[in-house]
Amino acid sequence: MFTFEPLTLDDLPFLIEVRNECRESLHDNRLFTLAECQHWFRESKPDFRIIRYNGERIGYFRLSNYDAEERSVYLGADLHKDFRGRGLARSAYEEFVPQVMNTFAVSKVKLEVLSHNEVARALYEKLGFIEIARKKAFAVRNGGPVDSIIMEKRLLTHGNSPS
């Protein structure tokens, strides 16, 4: 059973542990301290949701770039290393995306993933995301350039076909 709760100051040690551990898969791969994370949280007031599975924190969702005109929002997630590879990310996305649709009144969810992150790309494709654009040589990982792939999933609205 999944629950999704707004990120609080008390969650920041967990968030920074997860974020720093998986930073080579993120667009910004800098290592952050807890103090920097606390400052970021207070200043930017991010829309993050802690993912709990059977009551235990397993990761978080990031929401950003809400566009009322396009009716879209960006979404991303990071799971703690102890919970990867068990199908939990897929299940969490399947439960969370309908909540996002209702909360934001959107018809599309977008995300960006680095091209070297093949596991995440495969997950997103299984979830119905398709590539809509690519930023060439966006970052350098393992000594070579990697692209940033923009993906989109159109959501069913009002029980009809995707808009």
CATH, residue 16: 3.40.630.30
User: How confident is the model over 32-60, as a mean pLDDT?
Assistant: 97
161, part of any domain: no
> Phi first, then psi: what are they for 153, rounded to 5°?
-125, 125
Specify the DSSP class assigned to residue 162: B
pLDDT tens track for 76-94 = 999 999 999 999 999 999 9
Is the predicted pLDDT of residue 161 greater than 50, yes or no?
A: no
162, part of any domain: no
Q: Please report the pLDDT score of residue 155 as a whole number.
A: 85
Mean pLDDT estimate for the chain: 94
State the Cα–Cα distance between residues 53 and 111, nearest whole angstrom: 23
90, part of any domain: yes
State the Cα–Cα distance between residues 12 and 28, nearest whole angstrom: 18
Which residues on adjacent β-strands are paired with residue 152?
110, 130
126, part of any domain: yes
Is the predicted pLDDT of residue 122 greater than 70, yes or no?
A: yes
- For the record, the structure tokens of 161 come out as 């076909």
Percentage of the chain lying above the pLDDT 90 cut? 93
Evaluate whether 73 touches 104 at the Cβ level (below 8 Å). Answer: yes
In this structure, the chain runs to a length of: 163
Q: Please report the pLDDT score of residue 152 as a whole number.
A: 97
User: How confident is the model over 142-149, as a mean pLDDT?
Assistant: 95
Q: How many structural domains compose the chain? A: 1
Is the predicted pLDDT of residue 16 greater than 70, yes or no?
A: yes
pLDDT tens track for 1-15 = 999 999 999 999 999
